[in-house]
């Protein structure tokens, strides 16, 4: 990793559900001439077109544009992650990568935050905005461990407060402010006098950053060296998950998961299995009734009707449970 640039400051911003609203308030509150290069990751589907850069360009005083691989970091500009590419920093330039997904996302918030932590050290600032689950918490911890500053949107100001709230509860947030007030805080931080210091290599963060920087389907890393087997499997590829640290997992091909995201993925797997069971029960009930109707009255016909009744009762129970799961997902922003 390149040595720290004593004149460059970077703000890494992460958002998920409710993030467009939070980001528009954030950029509107940025002061002209802000002496930070601003990098933005919003979780978006891989194949979705993104107009976020155009939206942010219209909403605030700083020019915003999609991130370009290899472009230098420039103070007073906003560069926005593009779909299906991690937004990273290397040698004080933007690096776009098709490395493994993290919590099912590419671009991912944690990968950006880790990268900025390693490249900028105490000149790194991260801002964690609206979203669900605990994306960004590990990244905030990385920035803080390297002497940087962490900011979270006040939970009461966020449309979906779970993401900043998880980071706050983990004790890795230095400041809590409304999205529109982050610009004022950044201006204060920019006026600080920092004592420059050489950062030592970080054996915990650097291996994960190398995985995020890797080309797609790379086999040039060994996740087994990161920790012990967790006894769980990866929702993306069904490979074994390694426990990197508390609540932090990686599979053999590099997919990363936090504990909360892993639990959510298991919920989706269970829900999918329940829908398969619902379909199978429905087909079983229909077939049993059809067979019963084709037979003359007698023991065999009654047996088929009993099978149909049993299948329909099970369908009713499963239907109620699926409704409960769906309601829970809506309430949590899923």
Distance CA 204, CA 130 (A): 27
Q: Is 92 an annotated catalytic residue?
A: no
Distance CA 152, CA 176 (A): 5
Q: Is 6 an annotated catalytic residue?
A: no
Of 111, 130, 134, 135, the catalytic one is 135
Distance CA 92, CA 308 (A): 67
Of 16, 119, 130, 288, the catalytic one is 16
248: left (phi over 0), alpha (psi -120 to 50) or beta: beta
Q: Is 16 an annotated catalytic residue?
A: yes
Burial (Cβ within 10 Å: 0-12, 13-18, ≥19) of residue 190: middle
Distance CA 97, CA 41 (A): 13
Of 25, 43, 105, 255, the catalytic one is 43
Distance CA 39, CA 23 (A): 12
- CA geometry: angle at 254 spanning 251 and 256, to 5°? 75
Q: b vs e for 282-297, b when ≥16 Cβ sit within 10 Å of the residue's Cβ? A: eebbeebbebbeeeee
Instruction: Show which residues are catalytic.
Output: 16, 43, 135
């Amino acid at each position: 990793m390149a040595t720290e640039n004593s004149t460059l400051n970077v703000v890494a911003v992460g958002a998920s559900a409710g993030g467009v609203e939070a980001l528009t308030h954030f950029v509107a509150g940025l002061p002209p001439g802000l002496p930070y290069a601003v990098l933005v990751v919003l979780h978006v589907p891989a194949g979705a077109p993104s107009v976020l850069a155009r939206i942010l360009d219209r909403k605030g005083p700083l020019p915003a544009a999609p991130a370009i691989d290899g472009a230098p970091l420039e103070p007073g500009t906003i560069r926005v992650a593009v779909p299906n590419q991690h937004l990273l920093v290397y040698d004080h330039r933007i690096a776009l990568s098709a490395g493994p997904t993290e919590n099912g996302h590419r671009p991912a918030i944690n990968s950006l935050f880790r990268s900025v932590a390693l490249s900028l050290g105490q000149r790194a600032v991260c801002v964690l905005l609206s979203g669900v689950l605990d994306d960004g918490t590990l990244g905030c911890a990385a920035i803080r461990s390297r002497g940087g500053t962490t900011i979270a949107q006040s939970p009461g100001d966020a449309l979906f407060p779970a993401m900043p709230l998880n980071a706050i509860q983990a004790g890795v947030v230095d400041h809590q402010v409304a999205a529109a007030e982050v610009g004022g805080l950044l201006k204060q931080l920019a006026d600080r006098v920092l004592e420059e210091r050489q950062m030592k290599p970080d054996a915990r963060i650097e291996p994960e950053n190398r995985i995020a920087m890797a080309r797609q389907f790379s086999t040039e890393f060994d996740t087994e060296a990161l920790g012990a087997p967790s006894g769980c499997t990866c929702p993306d590829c069904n490979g074994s998950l390694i426990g990197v640290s508390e609540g932090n997992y990686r599979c053999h091909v590099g997919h990363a998961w936090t504990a909360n995201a892993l639990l959510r993925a298991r919920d989706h797997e269970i829900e999918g299995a329940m829908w398969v069971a619902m379909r199978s029960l429905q087909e079983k009930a229909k077939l049993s009734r059809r067979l019963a109707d084709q037979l003359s009255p007698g023991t065999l016909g009654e047996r088929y009707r009993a099978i149909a009744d049993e299948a329909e009762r099970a369908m009713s129970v499963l239907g109620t449970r699926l409704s409960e799961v769906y309601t829970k997902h809506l309430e949590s922003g899923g």
